Structure 1
Amino acid sequence: MLIGVIADDFTGASDIANTLAKGLPGQGGLRTVQYLGVPKEAAARNVEAGVIALKSRSISTELAVEQSLDAMHWLLEQGCQQIVFKYCSTFDSTPGGNIGPVGEALATALGVSGVVACPAFPGAGRTVYQGHLFVNDRLLNESGLQNHPLNPMTDADIRRWLRLQTAGEVGHVGIDAVRRGPAKIGSALRQCAEERRVLVIVDAITDEDLVTIGRAVADDRLITGGSGIAIGLPGNFIERGLAKGTGAVDFSVDGPEAILAGSCSGATRGQVERHSMLHPSLPIDVAGVMDGSVKAADLTSFLLSHTGNAPLVYSSSTPEEVQASQARFGREKVAAALDDLFATTAQELVKSGIRRLVVAGGETSGAVASALGYNALTIGREIDPGVPALLAEGERPVALALKSGNFGAPDFFKKALQRLAGR
């Protein structure tokens, strides 16, 4: 194994696994496997990039650090030459969040500083300029992410945001330095290291910027960022003759299908609205979930009765509806109840023969993937930027798409089901 990734949620893990498997056009990527939690056994010998999916974004800092260090040690035991700490391209965290503490803990364990921190993912509209994070043409805190139910992002200056989470100062490498090439980036990072700045926000506006950053950190032990930071990394190993540039695996799994949507992002709400116009769709009554009148069996029954027609169940609501439910029942209680509902539903669906499963939302995907108990997922072809097809192999293979709430085109659900079936 050459590259080891520690991802703080399940959809983020799929996102960067997709990037590593795809690689650059004409060059190819790495044979990539996504692991659900820290594996207990060694990786297969043909795996070139291993992505460990944790559910550490919104847990206690102490536990997030512990889990991340455990993942790092396993990856190093597999021979990884480079470790990547992957977080969301919209930097989802609170002022007391886990990006800073985990990044610093990994850096300390590896004995490094001046470590790149770049959440940019231009393909999905996320760019970093002058240390500020943009979503398309909006500052992060004006993009709708300020209404995130778990991690509201109210400041686009991610240097300032990250500084709230770290023990030391945060560095910055601007776009002018990035555009001057890998050597200039390397020099700027070394200067930050000399100034004892462990984490360094690096600007990136285009994929070409990310490729340049990737070349600059070819020999770095630790990198942090969104999935975009991995765009240029496979090429470093391919050019050295350490990898062949094979990449994603083609597969097709046809059969009964279902869609579960737990994200309340604007992108997912739009996808739900569009899909519901033409396909059987069931909104989840949160109050009914909380009082026990809405159960997983109800969702399972609805979905199984409409297989063949791309059925959908969803809890996606407007920010105002989410805030009202949280105020009435408590934010943590609502989140836990919905996670449990989706997890149990997924288990029952797979037991009942569902072969293609699409899940929207990072927390929802984490709950579902954990409940299904798959140890590893093979990375298939990309469905939309940041979202690959995934295969759980076995006697009865199951194909999955685990989508971050903000990702995907308006017709993502239909497209995902077709891609999972090899169409």
Structure 2
Amino acid sequence: MSPNDDHQPAPLPEGLLLAYYGDDFTGSTDAMEAMTAAGVPTVLFLAPPTPEALQRFPGVRCVGLAGSSRGRSPEWMRAELPQAFASLKALGAPILHYKVCSTFDSSPSLGSIGCAIEIGLQHMGGHWSPTVVGAPRLRRYQVFGHLFAAVDGVGYRLDRHPTMSRHPVTPMGESDLRRHLAAQTPRRMGLVDMVQLKSGDAHAQLTACRQPEADEAGATSPQAEAPIVFIDVLDEDTLLEAGRLVWRQRGQGLFSASSSGLCYALTAYWRSEGWLPAHTALPETQPVSQIAAVSGSCSPVSAAQIRWARAHGFATERLAVAACLQPARREAELQRVLAQAGQALSAGRSALVFSAEGPDDPEVLAFDQHAAQAGLSRTEAARCVGACLAEVMKRLLDQHPLRRIVVAGGDSSGEVASVLGLDALTVLARLTPGAPLCRAWSTHPQRDGLEVVLKGGQMGGESFYGQALHGG
């Protein structure tokens, strides 16, 4: 603890400790896993929770709301996020977390994290807005404000990352997160770096960051009153210190746009104070006889996982993107894919339907052309593909009452959860970091209790689908 931090620690308060909005569905389950695994009972809702809905989960200490803002415009965010943030603030948690991807990919026109921060601060207030992005468990590291991510044991600065630097929608051309976010919001920013965290100077640096800037006339602007402060996370020590700083300086409430690194940081600090069990563990995923999966991800990680599934007995079937985008051809394409996947499931095999196999897939390279021919924007076309994959999964489950399903890709996950009529998710078991096995809660008896894995494109190893099937 910094010698300048005179706030004495107190036991965790009663009630909710954290409420969060996930900017996509896969990221929402990532945050839920981080809290649940640390011993903080957590439930993820798919619509703003009501008091009646919360009564179904007694003892819950963290509540999430899965959203889709990562693929939305600032105009959509300004129309939709205020209601979502207001519903979460009303729950009374001291920290309102806007959960973003651990690669922080966003832009001024799509998934603007800066826009979300402005809206969140209007609702939550607070003297500063911390941002914690690094998460060592997910192989994400922030050092002196720059974000790094590891792939196959090799660390890359994000603007040189083999996937994120060439992301088809929001490519990351800047690894300094302050510079990246400055294109999305004019709000003043600061940094508590790893050296300050390790030397005990974090509180003093935060105090300096929070000092309002004055103009030539000596007046301060509202934009200067609550700065955005990035906090480096390199290892478990800096993770704990980041959690200490945020929790001890939360004041009457904070809004934070962060990855699940914030969840890992807070729980690390709470554990260090003895407020959470020193050792907790989620159960192992148990095997099932077969699964159905759909993938809308175009990352190379997802491509390797599809190839592994194909080589290990899965029936893999490509969904033709061009046909999905044309209303006159869509139903015939859905029927074709359903016939192939359904035949495999009837024979006792597992089935995987995908729309892309890596960033160099011809369907990915021709995506803009397909969208233009269909008279759709890139965003509209992407949502249409996700909706088709969701319809495939719905019809497969209607015909084959499976126990477990897997969805890869944030947009696809949101569409699937919506079309299946799921109300909430809780973590059932661990599978791979950032993508746990979840239990679905639904008023539809045939969906209630369904086991669901929502996987981001960068999550999991090559044999991920084998883990989802065989467990362990």
State TM-score, norm by structure 2: 0.81
Corresponding position: 1:285 with 2:320: yes
Q: Structure 1 residues 251, 126: closer, same or farther in 2, change over 3 A?
A: closer
Residue equivalent to 2:11: none
C-alpha distance in structure 1 between counterparts of 2:455 and 2:323, whole Å:
26
Q: How many residues align?
A: 413
Residue equivalent to 2:5: none
- Matching residue within 158, 165, 170 for 2:177: 158
Residue equivalent to 2:114: 100
- Matching residue within 17, 23, 33 for 1:18: 33
Moved more, 308-317 or 383-392: 308-317
Corresponding position: 1:74 with 2:87: yes
Q: Aligned with 1:231: secondary structure?
A: helix
Corresponding position: 1:115 with 2:115: no
Residue equivalent to 2:291: 257
What amino acid maps onto 2:366 in structure 1? A
C-alpha distance in structure 2 between counterparts of 1:418 and 1:325, whole Å:
34
- Matching residue within 195, 202, 224 for 1:176: 195
Quote the offset at 1:65 in angstroms.
4.0
- Matching residue within 290, 302, 305 for 2:340: 302
8 Å contact kept, 2:17–2:62: yes
Moved more, 340-349 or 401-410: 340-349
C-alpha distance in structure 1 between counterparts of 2:343 and 2:102, whole Å:
37
Higher relative contact order (CA 8 A, sep 6+): 1
The 5 A counterparts of 1:351-366 are 351-352=398-399, 353-366=401-414
Q: Report Cα offsets for 1:148-168 as digits up to 9, x if no partner.
A: 122121221211110111122
Moved more, 54-63 or 184-193: 184-193
Q: Which runs of 4+ in 1 moved over 4 A?
A: 235-256
Q: Aligned with 1:379: secondary structure?
A: strand
C-alpha distance in structure 1 between counterparts of 2:83 and 2:325, whole Å:
35
C-alpha distance in structure 2 between counterparts of 1:107 and 1:81, whole Å:
13
- Matching residue within 14, 19, 44 for 1:34: 44
Q: Aligned with 2:97: secondary structure?
A: strand
Quote the offset at 1:299 in angstroms.
2.6
Q: Report Cα offsets for 1:83-127 as digits up to 9, x if no partner.
A: 211100011211334211111221232222432112212222211
Q: Structure 1 residues 90, 74: closer, same or farther in 2, change over 3 A?
A: same
What amino acid maps onto 2:142 in structure 1? V
C-alpha distance in structure 2 between counterparts of 1:156 and 1:237, whole Å:
30
Q: Gaps spanning 5+ residues in structure 1: where?
A: 24-28
Q: Report Cα offsets for 1:340-377 as digits up to 9, x if no partner.
A: 20121122122221221101111111111121121111
The 5 A counterparts of 1:324-363 are 324-330=366-372, 331-352=378-399, 353-363=401-411
C-alpha distance in structure 2 between counterparts of 1:65 and 1:30, whole Å:
31
8 Å contact kept, 1:21–1:247: no
Q: Aligned with 2:103: secondary structure?
A: coil
Corresponding position: 1:398 with 2:432: no
C-alpha distance in structure 2 between counterparts of 1:350 and 1:41, whole Å:
31
Quote the offset at 1:18 in angstroms.
0.4
What amino acid maps onto 2:365 in structure 1? Q
Corresponding position: 1:139 with 2:191: no
What amino acid maps onto 1:325 in structure 2? F
C-alpha distance in structure 1 between counterparts of 2:424 and 2:275, whole Å:
23
Quote the offset at 1:248 in angstroms.
5.3
Residue equivalent to 1:314: 354
Quote the offset at 1:60 in angstroms.
2.2
Quote the offset at 1:234 in angstroms.
3.4
State TM-score, norm by structure 1: 0.90
Q: Gaps spanning 5+ residues in structure 2: where?
A: 1-15, 213-223, 373-377
Residue equivalent to 2:144: 130
C-alpha distance in structure 2 between counterparts of 1:32 and 1:82, whole Å:
15
8 Å contact kept, 2:286–2:470: no
Q: Structure 1 residues 63, 253: closer, same or farther in 2, change over 3 A?
A: farther
C-alpha distance in structure 1 between counterparts of 2:282 and 2:63, whole Å:
13
What amino acid maps onto 1:316 in structure 2? A
What amino acid maps onto 2:26 in structure 1? T
Residue equivalent to 1:61: 74
RMSD: 2.5
Q: Report Cα offsets for 1:67-98 as digits up to 9, x if no partner.
A: 33323322333331222111000112113342
